[in-house]
Amino acid sequence: MSSNTSIALLFPGQGSQSIGMGKDLTEKYPIARQTFEEADEALGYKLSNLCFEGPEEQLRMTEITQPAILSASIAAWRVLNEKGLTPSSVAGHSLGEYSAHVAAGTLTFADAVRTVRNRGKYMQEAVPVGVGAMAAILGMDAEKATAVCHDAAQSEVCEPANINSPEQVVISGHAAAVERAITLANERGAKRAVLLQVSAPFHCSLMKPAQDRLAADLLKLNFRIPNVPVVCNVDAASVNDAEQSRDALIRQVTGSVKWDQSIRLLISQGVQSFVEVGPGKVLFGLMRQIDRSKKCLNVSDEASLQKTLEHFAAVSA
């Protein structure tokens, strides 16, 4: 299968984890098995066992979740890559941006897996449990949701964290401010505004201590020029350079994930087909809210892999 100028690969972020992720591909493809072995070695514990067997409460711990999703995503990507599917661009949602950079050759897998373990740890430790919160505002556009955050803040932090689609904005900040924002959003015509079960208020200025600690780690790593453009969350822009890539990953910790804008950028660049690579179908679902006319597929196990390969084989036939 040759490269296709109109395919973008998308990599999921936290919340897409499930017990058993990566197991099917690992049993069938040596390259997937090797990926989990590399992760186990880089981390010094059996991450593979936690991915394949759980327990769920451990898999949900941020410093385990992040390397687990990255590893399952890269295992799936390496299988896809062996099958000859090469994209014109890559993007990842929050944590998924690291998977995108591994796929683009910007970072080694071992460096990425250790970095996201620390990223998870730093994010967890940045804000004491109970101080922060996150909520999803559904059926309200980003501009109105941003105004809700501004009005609810009242000298506390309340900021848009993930601009996921025209119908979904996730907000983050101090617990009381987020509660006020939920009330305001409901009063101002949101379909729904609901508190999310998360362990910390990600992607807002409360994450500054985590950003500073992560920056020190990222500055020590060797970043290479990406082989394909990586669309970064914080600017919704393509990065083609090693230092830009590092800088975007640093700023991403406190910055909002501009997912809706990132997908629209890829569409404007001529992307016709999107493949979500890794566990779950969260990005697949968001894609349907952003632009239903584009083909969206996913690769998380043998069945979805075959379906995706058959699609592209038929298209190029």
Q: What is the pLDDT of residues 103-146, one digit of tens each?
A: 999 999 999 999 999 999 999 999 998 999 999 999 999 999 99
CA 272, CA 48: separation in Å to the nearest integer? Answer: 34
Catalytic residue among 16, 99, 203, 262: 203
Which letter does DSSP use for residue 13 in this model? -
Residues whose CB falls within 8 Å of the CB of residue 290, separated by 6 or more in sequence, listed in order: 165, 166, 260, 263, 264
Residues whose CB falls within 8 Å of the CB of residue 299, separated by 6 or more in sequence, listed in order: 76, 77, 79, 80, 275, 276, 277, 278, 305, 308
CA 245, CA 106: separation in Å to the nearest integer? Answer: 8
Indicate the domain borders of the chain: 7-126+206-316, 132-198
The topology (CATH level 3) of 132-198 is Alpha-Beta Plaits (3.30.70)
Q: What is the pLDDT of residues 272-312, one digit of tens each?
A: 999 999 999 999 999 999 999 999 999 999 999 999 999 99
Conformation bin of residue 139: beta by default, left when phi > 0, alpha when psi is -120 to 50: left
The side-by-side arrangement of strands in the sheet containing 158-165 is 158-165, 168-174, 132-138, 192-195
CA 281, CA 160: separation in Å to the nearest integer? Answer: 22
Q: What is the pLDDT of residues 211-221, one digit of tens each?
A: 999 999 999 99
Q: What is the pLDDT of residues 7-49, one digit of tens each?
A: 999 999 998 999 999 999 999 999 999 999 999 999 999 999 9
Whether the model clears a pTM of 0.85, i.e. scores above it, the answer is yes
The pLDDT of residue 198 is 86
Q: Is 94 a catalytic residue?
A: yes
What is the number of other CB atoms lying within 10 angstroms of the CB of residue 13? 28
CA distances from 211 to 66, 85, 199 (A): 16, 34, 17
Query: Are the C-beta atoms of residues 77 and 232 closer than 8 Å to each other?
Result: no
The pLDDT of residue 144 is 97
Which letter does DSSP use for residue 206 in this model? G
pLDDT at position 2 over 80: no
Catalytic residue among 16, 48, 71, 94: 94
CA 98, CA 66: separation in Å to the nearest integer? Answer: 10
Q: Is 311 a catalytic residue?
A: no
CATH superfamily of 7-126+206-316: Malonyl-Coenzyme A Acyl Carrier Protein, domain 2 (3.40.366.10)
